[in-house]
Amino acid sequence: MPTSIVDIKNVNKSFGPAHVLRGVDLQVAKGEVLVIIGASGSGKSTLIRCVNGLEAFQEGSITVDGCELPCEADRELGEEKRLNAVRRGVGMVFQQFNLFPHKTVLENVTLAPMRVRNKSQADAEATARRLLKRVGMQDHALKYPGQLSGGQQQRVAIARALAMEPHVMLFDEPTSALDPEMVGEVLDVMRELATEGMTMMIVTHEMGFAREVANRVVFIDRGKILEDGTPAEIFDAPKEDRTRTFLSRVL
């Protein structure tokens, strides 16, 4: 049994009266590519936002790389330091690219390593240029996000996340806001990361990509993991009616 890098145990999360995550258990092994599927509103974003501490949960535990995230009560007790420690090791890519609009591509990628990791500008820029090359954006370093296509912005966002040398990368519908002709270039970068052994948790509706790249697929339904298996198991032989219904709508 390989050691898990993300360990989610019995996590419960409510927004006021809405019980959004209902006893989620999920382990992700080092190097594993996990795809999370499920209907809109089922809790996919909330779950991955909990993993990098963007959302607090009320019950259960989440451990990333051996460091336990503080739950909501612990945050109130001032466990922010531990939260920041975990966050530094987790890269996140959102549906809306969230680049800083008034900073160049290069500045977007160097900012956090300089501020949070105290890297020198020269060091941060060298790393940024290497990462921009890796996502095919080396020729755009001095442009502003507004001068780039959505696909290009998303590739910069991936480079920016990688610049913090994360142990895990989280993707929340990274291609949902893109024009169809730009989806492929972003999925290509993600596919390459997966090949290089990056641990990844990906929420996506790109079922072809999931089938090809995922080691494991989980189906989340109304805040619970209903089914967990290989892509072949989930897509070709789903056990649960609700999984079948969901797949019949999206495939």
**Positions in the binding site for ligand ADP (CB under 6 A):** 15, 18, 20, 38, 40-46
Choose from Mg ion, ligand ADP, none: what does 42 bind? Cβ within 5-8 Å by kind. ligand ADP
Residue 150 neighbours by CB under 8 Å, 6+ apart: 97, 177, 178, 179, 182
- 238's CB contacts (< 8 A; 6+ apart) are 219, 227, 244, 247
Considering beta carbons, is residue 62 or 141 the nearer one to ligand ADP?
Answer: 62
Strands, sheet with 90-93, edge to edge from the N-terminal-most edge strand: 90-93, 168-172, 199-203, 33-37, 216-221, 224-229
Residue 70: which of Mg ion, ligand ADP, none does it interact with, CB under 5 to 8 A by kind?
none
**Rounded alpha-carbon distances, angstroms, from residue 241 to 18, 226, 244:** 24, 10, 5
**Least distance CB 19 / ligand ADP (angstroms):** 9
* CB 24, min distance to ligand ADP, A: 11
Q: Which is nearer to ligand ADP, 20 or 162 (CB)?
A: 20
| Nearest residue (CB) to ligand ADP, 44 versus 160 | 44
Q: How many CB atoms lie within 10 A of CB 61?
A: 14
Residues 13-72 within binding reach of Mg ion (CB under 5 A): 45
The strand pair at 216-221 and 67-68 is best described as: unpaired
Of Mg ion, ligand ADP, none, which one does residue 43 interact with (CB within 5 to 8 Å by kind)?
A: ligand ADP
Nearer to ligand ADP among residue 15 and residue 81 (C-beta): 15
Q: How far is the CB of 38 from ligand ADP (least distance, A)?
A: 6
Instruction: Count residues binding Mg ion (CB under 5 A).
Output: 1
Query: Smallest Cα–Cα separation from 90: which of 4, 176, 201?
Result: 201
Complex with ligand ADP: residue 50 or 168, whichever CB lies closer: 50
Structure tokens at 107: 């500045």
Q: How far is the C-alpha of 59 from the C-alpha of 52, rounded, in Å?
A: 16
Query: Which residues lie near Mg ion (CB under 5 A)?
Result: 45
